[in-house]
Amino acid sequence: MNTDEYKGSPELQRRFEAHQVDQEQAAAMAELRKKALTLAAAIELLTPPGRERANAVTAVEEAVMWANKAIASPPAPAARPLTMEPPRTIPREPEVDHRS
């Protein structure tokens, strides 16, 4: 298959399209950036310099990026809603005493 001719599945196309935002979406993005800057500034102020601080600030940047993408992108077909339910536990096999 020639990869130059294949344009990807509809889901891939949806993910990689540029999306115009309206004023309401742009305002939501600006509010997120403002809140993220507050958090990043607190991290910078309250933590010592180093890898962990850098990773924390990067994680805030990444969270804003994904949130902005969620605002700008059309919803995926049959998208599952985000839930705050705890994960289901996987039943464990009973432990067997092998000493006997």
Q: Could you report the per-residue pLDDT of 62-89, keeping only the tens digit for each?
A: 999 999 999 998 777 765 566 666 666 6
Least confident residue range of 43-47, 49-53, 87-91: 87-91
pTM strictly above 0.85: no
- What are the structure tokens assigned to 4, written together? 């130059």
Q: Single out the residue of 72, 75, 67 nearest to residue 31, CA to CA.
A: 67
What is the spatial distance between Cα 42 and Cα 28, in angstroms, rounded to a whole number?
21
So what's the pLDDT on residue 3?
73
Confidence grade of residue 52 (pLDDT, cut at 50, 70, 90):
very high
Confidence grade of residue 41 (pLDDT, cut at 50, 70, 90):
very high
37-44 CB contacts, 8 Å cutoff, 24+ apart: none
User: Cα torsion at 65, 20, 18, 84 (round to 10°)?
Assistant: 40
> Is 80 exceeded by the pLDDT of residue 42?
yes
